[in-house]
Amino acid sequence: MDFETNDSPDGRQVEISKGGRRPQAGLRRRPRLWLWSLAALFVWASLFGLRSVFAQAPRGRGAAPGAAARAVPVIGAAARSVDFPVYLTGLGSVIPLKTVTIRTRVDGQIVNVAFREGQSVREGDLLVEIDPRPFEVLLHQAEGQMAKDQAGLANAKVDLKRYEALIKDDSIARQQLDTQAVVVTQYEAAIKSDQAQVDSAKLSLTYSRITAPIPGIVGLRLVDLGNIVHASDATGLLVITQQQPITAVFTLVASSLSKILPPLRAGTKLAVEAWDTDLTHKLADGSVLALDNQIDPGTFTIRIKALFLNTDFALFANQPISAKLLVDTLRHAVVIPTAALQRSPQSTYVFVVKPDQTVEIRNVDVQLTQGDDSAIRQGLSPGEIVVVDGVDKLQAGTRVTMAGEDNPTGSGTRKRSS
């Protein structure tokens, strides 16, 4: 196509085809320039908006929402320096010092039940009365017979004195005097027998009033008012158990003797704590009373008896317990909750919360673990905070916040009593 050059009104020279129209190339350039201008304007607006957001965001620790979202909530506890007791624990049961089954020693009908089931009684308190009238009759009969024999003895002694005077005058035969002396002796023997009958009747009368032979707690009664009881009955009337003080017998492995015998032979009283079988509640404090004289060859355990004052009646006869025998105390030990310990095939470690609220993995040497607490031989210092709960999402350098606290400065750590 042929073009010719003409001057434009503003002085520029443009090429115009001979047909009178401008070339299409110039028309295509203008839309592309507008597109690039729009794109540049969009980028500039985006950058300006981001700059405004960052300029308005508050500065300072913990204020950035992204940083707070990345912090892992955990529960921590501070390592403590305490005297850590060392216990040996065994299962056992409570055994009363004395248990008495009350039985009647005479036959008769029960006319009075003077106790209540479960009542605490003292020694000598009246428990049961058996009809005393048959024994009163026997007593009166024995006393009457003794009075009769005493009168006969008095008469025999008078006759003996008379015969002794007559024998001096040779008024009676010697045989008559000797016979009278024998009669006196017979009456004296009869009176002794009568006295025994009187004492027996009095004793039966005493036995008709049954009293408590020991202090303790009365169990459920085995007979009721009006029952006829016999001394030969196999069952008793009631059972009394002494509960203050009370004992408990528990077992420990035979290897524990090396820790128990030296202080006992030195005269030291070893403290014993009675706990429930779940080891969640302490029932009483006591001390070792005695050791068995042999090891059970079947279980290789030794039986130990402990004595408890049981002032609050927390221990009950035949109650199962867990006994904790104190054998040593670790002075100024570094103690942390056992839940903080983590184990790998190579070592035992804990997550320690540093001042910048990040955690580090620290290998520790555990000296002793007892229940909820563990004593650390080395690896931790008192006051350092270890993670007790929430370790699943932790690794070295993870930022943490104490659960339930807005300020992760350690004030949200779990407080544990020493």
Per-residue pLDDT tens over the stretch 239-261: 999 999 999 999 999 999 989 99
* Confidence at residue 359, expressed as pLDDT on a 0 to 100 scale: 92
Got the DSSP string for 363-379?
E-EEEEEETTEEEEEES
Whole-number percent of the chain with pLDDT over 90: 63
| 8-state DSSP, 394 | -
Per-residue pLDDT tens over the stretch 9-37: 444 544 444 444 444 444 444 555 656 66
Residue 59 has pLDDT above 80, yes or no: no
Is residue 44 very low, low, confident or very high in pLDDT (cuts 50, 70, 90)?
low
Mean pLDDT for 209-236 is 92
Per-residue pLDDT tens over the stretch 71-105: 889 999 999 999 999 999 999 999 999 999 999 99
Q: Where are the domains of the chain?
A: 70-83+331-402
Beta bridge partner(s), residue 321: 92
Residue 53 has pLDDT above 60, yes or no: no
Q: Helix or strand or coil: residue 82?
A: strand
* Confidence at residue 408, expressed as pLDDT on a 0 to 100 scale: 37
Query: Per this entry, what is the length of the chain?
Result: 418
* Confidence at residue 70, expressed as pLDDT on a 0 to 100 scale: 75
pTM over 0.85: no
Per-residue pLDDT tens over the stretch 380-417: 999 999 999 988 888 888 999 987 443 333 334 444 44
Whole-number percent of the chain with pLDDT over 70: 80
* Confidence at residue 31, expressed as pLDDT on a 0 to 100 scale: 54
Beta bridge partner(s), residue 359: 353
* Confidence at residue 267, expressed as pLDDT on a 0 to 100 scale: 86
Q: Phi then psi for 153, rounded to 5 degrees?
A: -65, -40
What type of residue sits at position 408?
P
* Confidence at residue 260, expressed as pLDDT on a 0 to 100 scale: 92
Residue 47 has pLDDT above 70, yes or no: no
Q: Which CATH class is domain 70-83+331-402?
A: mainly beta
Share the mean pLDDT of the chain: 83
* Nearest C-alpha neighbor of 387 from the set 143, 76, 4, 166: 76
Q: Output the CA torsion sign for 333, 338, 342, 346.
A: positive
* Confidence at residue 298, expressed as pLDDT on a 0 to 100 scale: 92
Per-residue pLDDT tens over the stretch 271-323: 999 999 998 899 999 999 999 999 999 999 999 999 999 999 999 999 999 99
Mean pLDDT for 358-370 is 91
Per-residue pLDDT tens over the stretch 120-164: 999 999 999 999 999 999 999 999 999 999 999 999 999 889 888
Is residue 167 very low, low, confident or very high in pLDDT (cuts 50, 70, 90)?
confident
* Confidence at residue 371, expressed as pLDDT on a 0 to 100 scale: 79
Other CB atoms within a 10 A radius of the CB of residue 48 amount to: 9
Q: Which phi-psi region, left, alpha or beta, contains residue 191 (left: φ > 0; alpha: ψ -120 to 50)?
A: alpha
Q: Phi then psi for 206, rounded to 5 degrees?
A: -65, -40
